[in-house]
Structures are given as structure tokens and as C-alpha cells.
Structure 1
Amino acid sequence: MMIVARTYSAFYEASAESCLLRYSAKIPSRELVHAGKLVDLSFSAINESGSPVSCAGITLSIPLGNGETDLATDEPATVQVGQDWTCTSRVDGKRLVIEARPAGSAGVNIPDGQEVFICRLNGLPVSGTAGKATIGVLEQTVPQRQTDSELEVSKFTSGFAFDFFHPEHISVPKGGTAELRWHGQGVESYRLTYTPPLDPNDKDTSKATVVRDLKGPYPPTTTNVGPITGRTAFALQAHVNVKGVGLDHTLTTMVDVASGVGDLAVHDITVDGTATFNNATGLLHTEPEQTRKITISRNNPGSLLTFRSAGEGFLSLHTDTGTTGVVELWLCDGSVLLAQIGKYFPCTVPLTAGQELTLVPDKAALQAKPASYTQQTTVYIRWSGLGTDSALTVNPAT
């Protein structure tokens, strides 16, 4: 199984024992909420109650002002509404109130285990002082029942950055060491948390979770973890203090264990005599690395490169462009986002025969740039096909 490492965006959650639903606020891409900047904030409701929930309304109350505990200074530029809802936005004193109501006459039915998109606040102007802000959530469910909860959102200074958390290798031999890497700026300390797979015969449950504080004289951007005995998920928390207030942001990734039973990893095989392979299509052929120089411009938000495979295989991509002030690239299968690509965040994805993927810029980030904006980068392409007839075609060809 191919495990594709992902770095997730800022993700804030809220739940209360009295609420039937859990709520989340998400930031697109790998952005954070930075004081004094614009942000796109999406809200969702998740049903984990064990039975369907009919929701008659959700009200979000966002503190307005320019202080540490305020989130925004004004209304968003636009409000994008989920298909099941209608939304209104108004300023009530020092609060921005977003009211979501069912689009139909009945409540919005949310099955158990499902997440429903409520709305997205596009271009929300964040207050200019770093700190923590609390969004109030008022829930109305059917039959008549009203409860509230809170979402706490951290606002970071403009010099804080934390992204591209990924393993150097997505799988390691059993008992091997995983090398984890990330990009950080303005971070004071890191805390790594992970849960090794437990031996069913081991009665010591204290080994269930490992917590490591990563210290420096300078905060590191890499660490090694081992031995890896099974698929392991890692959470890395970055911490900074702003005027006595502790702000944290957490990213996750995963490392798998490569199958070692019956596998032989070699560069070349020389056979004197006859070699018989029961599954010829299972031979993985890696082609020489290709490069493409591309230009991202404000006037060209469309496809930059396309990849089409004649057979099954794995496509690996990375670029030579860093993270500061650049528009990132997205690898898509139609309208589905498969991976986000950058200098510190390579991706590897599986392809089937005839599948076509496109490389496009982050359109929202591109539209926020000046009309004269251009960005040059080199894309590095490596293709490993199953069998000799599974070539990869890249367009433009040069």
C-alpha cells in the first residue's frame, strides 16, 4: 500500500458534552491565522453522536476589534454557503454574527459519522494583535434543543511559520529509523507525540504514547525516530509565546513499514542462464529524472503541466521553490486535490493505466497577488512504472 504523506492546514475543533455536534474551523492549504492578514475560514459540523441529528440552525459569534482576544476587525469580503444552508452576516456591537439556517423547510439531517460544510468566510481581516480568540457556537437541533460551544483560534505573528512536516522516506524496513523533516520559523520549541504499535504480549501499557520535547540551542527542523515496528502516526506541535500567551500549532504525518517478506531490493541483476518471473508486470522500472521549468503568473491560473501514464506506476514530484511569498502547486485528478507540492514537501502518488493528472497553481492564493505577479520554478519529475510498457507522458514535452 502506498502511503502519501500529507501536511494539513490549521485546524481548530470544538465540542461540548451538551452539544450533539462537533465543530471545526479550517484554513485552506498550509496557511495559518496571522495577525493583520486576510484569511479564508471554513466551518463544518461533524456528527459523532451515534445517531442521526437534525439541525435547525447554527450561529457563529466572532469577536471584533484589534486586541489579543479579537479575531477580526470587520466582515469578510464574501460568505460561501454550503448547499444545505442559507447564511446571513451582521455586526452586532463588537461581534460578527453568522447565522446558518436550513435551506429547506426541514432541518439539515446529518447522519452519524458525517461532516457537513456550513460556510466559508473569504477574506476575513484578522485583528492586528497576536493572541487567542474564541468563536462562540450556538447549536439548535430538532426537537427544540439549544446548546453552545466554543472554538479557540490562535493568531500568530507574521514571522511565525510551521509547515512541510513529512518523513524523508514514507516507509522504512521493520525495526528501522524514520527521519522526520519540517520547515519552521519563529518557533521557540517543538513537541513530538506518537504511538508505537503495541506488542499484544506486552503488558506494559505505559509505552502506548511517546512524548518528546525537541530542544536546541536553536529549534531543530529534523529528528530521527526508531525503531519503527509498524505503521506509526506522528504529531508535531510548534510552540511560541507572545506577550505571555502560549500559541501552538500541530501538524501530522505517517510512516509505514516496508514489506520485507520475500522482497529483494537490488540495483541490477545479472543472470547467466534462464530467468523466469511469475509476474512480469510486477517489475518496477524507474526512469531518469526529468525537469520542467514553469512560470506561474497572475494571468495564467490554469494547468501548468499534465501527466498521463500508459500503465500503472508511481509519480514523484518536488520543486526548487521555497515557501515565503510564493504560490504553491497542486497536483489534481480532475477536481480532486491529491497533493500540495513544494521544495520541502515532495509527493509520491500512484497512477493507474490511462490516468491523467494536472499540476495547477493555488488559484485563491494567485488571485490575491498583484496583476504583475510572476513566479518561476523547476519541477523535478521521477516516474516508476510497473513493467516496460507503462511510460509516462509529460506535457508540455520540454
Structure 2
Amino acid sequence: MARAMEACLWITPKIFDDLRDPAPGVAAFFDHHAAWLEDRPVTVVFCAGNGDHILNYRGPSGWEERFDWARYNCFALGPGGPSGITRAHNRDWLARVREGGERSANPYSAGPMFIVSEQPMDYVTLAGIYAAIRAEAERRGLRVNLLEYLEPGPEFCRSEWKTALHPEVAGSAADAGGHMVPGVIDVTAPLAADSRRYAAHPGGIPAGLPAGDFVAAQTAAFTRDFELDGVMLGNQFGLVGFWHPDNAPPLTPERAAGIERFFLRLREAMGERLVYWMDTYWRAEVERSAWGMSDAAYQSLDAILVSTFAVLVERTEIVPNLLSKAALDGPRPLLGLDFVDPWYWYRTYLDDRRTYLYQREVLAAHAESVAGVSFFANDTFGHFVPEPELTSTLEVVRKGEIG
């Protein structure tokens, strides 16, 4: 008997010509992906930025406040501000890529640094975008789960909460287009006192509150106020040391307990709302032994995005990772598929065809272990994935559903 795989599609504000009038862009998104949205569970992950707007959110009284959003290609904030690092990065890109012909790693994959849009974003505008997605889905008779994205690090746009207000809980740095930028949240670290108003802490943050406790409560408050269905936790949120077990800090009983506490607090705070989690690119056994992930933490999740992005993945780890996540017998494993990236200008279907095709071979060979697929639906310019690539990939999905 055929089963329907979930389609989990990510979009960013770059798809809109006018942030204040999102309806045309939303309609275009649904039109372009119509075949993907028929007769299957649908989740839309809206990525306004890197989630700093969630952490900084003051509550309904602050809806007029502006925040930075992911309006850049290859954003990284250096010590001298964005202008200095931009000039140096682009000089390096010109020398190595345009003049030198380099076609792998960064700066090739990241591309040059530039701003795509100067439009301002505030919470009223964001609420309008969410409402437009809801309205278009209803008009088409689709049941769509709408999630917002929360990234642990400082990629994609400015991160005031992570880098300026609370650097004391920045446990490591993130690679932003080839630049190591501090600001990755360690959920086990204690926060300094903060008198600012937050949705989950109207009286301010008390000194010593674990960062994970704040994130859990604040995320729940944000999703509640904006009537979202849940959150997508990006880039192994909760586990410090990106993308390779050698980068993980020493695992102590205290760290392991703090990590589990975060996931359980988030589950409790979110109630029936969804918690999706993007993994480390490594199998569950490695996540347990190197990073301190626990069975209870896994079981707190509704779905796990099995990460396969070509610019980072160890290809030999893709199948073992997928099978290990399917064996958890709890959260639904969603296989990540590459087409384009909404924050960097590489295009996997052109730049790394070998890995691109291998992802689809894995899907075909192990469809019984896949509950759904997930991919970025727009590129760094705000354009959708080319139709031929979507169609050929959907054929693989449909064959896998038949079994």
C-alpha cells in the first residue's frame, strides 16, 4: 500500500518583492510546488533570519520593533563591522574564483558578500507573512504546518542577542562563508542578568538561568503569540561543536544533563506544538558518545532532519545516519535534499552533481526508512528551484512511496 512522504519546504523573505505585500510571492510558491503539495503532509519552514528575532522578542507590545533578517548573501560580521570583512572577502573571492578559477569549498560555495534587499522587517510584517501563508494554504484546501526557524549560531544576518547581549553563553564559533564567527549558543551555560523585557521573562532574565531554559520558554512564547505550529531547530541546536565529533567539547555528566534538560524543557514548553531538529550529519551513536544526545532528548522531537548538505556531509555517513535515525522509533526521519541554498550562492545540482545524485540514490534505496524529505525551496536571490530538478526528484519520492 502506498504511503505519503512528508514534504518539508523551507522559504525565506527573499521570495517577496514587497515584504508588506507577501500574497503574490506566497501564491507563486504554492504554484511552483503544487505537485509536491498534493496528497501528502506538508510543512513550511519560514526562515526570517537566524532566530535572533525569536530570542529578542519582547511580546505583543514590541511588534513595531524592527529586526535584521536574512537579506544577505554570505553574511559574516567581523571585528570592524560588516564593511571591512565584506571588502576582504570579495577581494579573496575575485582572486581565487573569478581570476584563479577555483571551484570548490569557500569562497566559491559561499559566493561574494552582498545585500539582496534593503527592505525593513518588523514583527507586524512578519505576522503578515505568516497570515498570507495560512490564507493561501486554506484557499487551496491544504493542511500546512507552519514552523519558524531557530539557528544556534550567528549566520545569515545580525545576531544581537547571541553576539552582543549574551556573549557569555556563546560556546563556540560558526563557519559563515569561510569566516569563523563567535556566537553559537551553549544551552548548558548560565546567562548573565538582563533587565530587558522578553516575552517569556517580562521582568528580565535572572542571573544564572541556563541558556537552554530561556530558549525553551522564549520559543514557546513566540510560537504561541504568532499562532505557529512549531519550530525548526537548525544546525544541531543544543549540541556545541558544529558538524564533526572532533569539534565537540569534552562530554561531562553535567553537560549531558544540561543538554537533556534543554530538550525536555522545550518539549514541555511547546506542548502540542511541533519540534523539528536538524542533526549533526552523524549517526545517533556518535551524537550520543561525542555530543551527549540522549534517548529522552530524541524522543522529545517530532521529526529529525537527516542532514546531507553537500558542502558539509561525509558521504559515507549519509546512509548509516539515516538508518540510525529511523531506528530511534520515535521522531520522523526527514531526508535532507540539496538543490540550492537561500543564504549562499552555491547550487548543488550544478556544483556537486555527484553528491546531488547520490542523495536521490539513497532516497530510492532506503525509502522505507524515510518519513519525508526536506529542502530549501528558494536560492539566495529569492528564486525557486528550477522545475526540471524538482520534477525529477519528485519522481524518486513517488517511486519510494509505492515501495
- TM-score class, shorter: under 0.3
Query: Which structure: larger Rg?
Result: 1
Normalized against structure 2, the TM-score is what? 0.24
For CA contacts below 8 A with separation 6 or more, give which structure has more relative contact order: 2
Select the structure that is richer in helix. Answer: 2
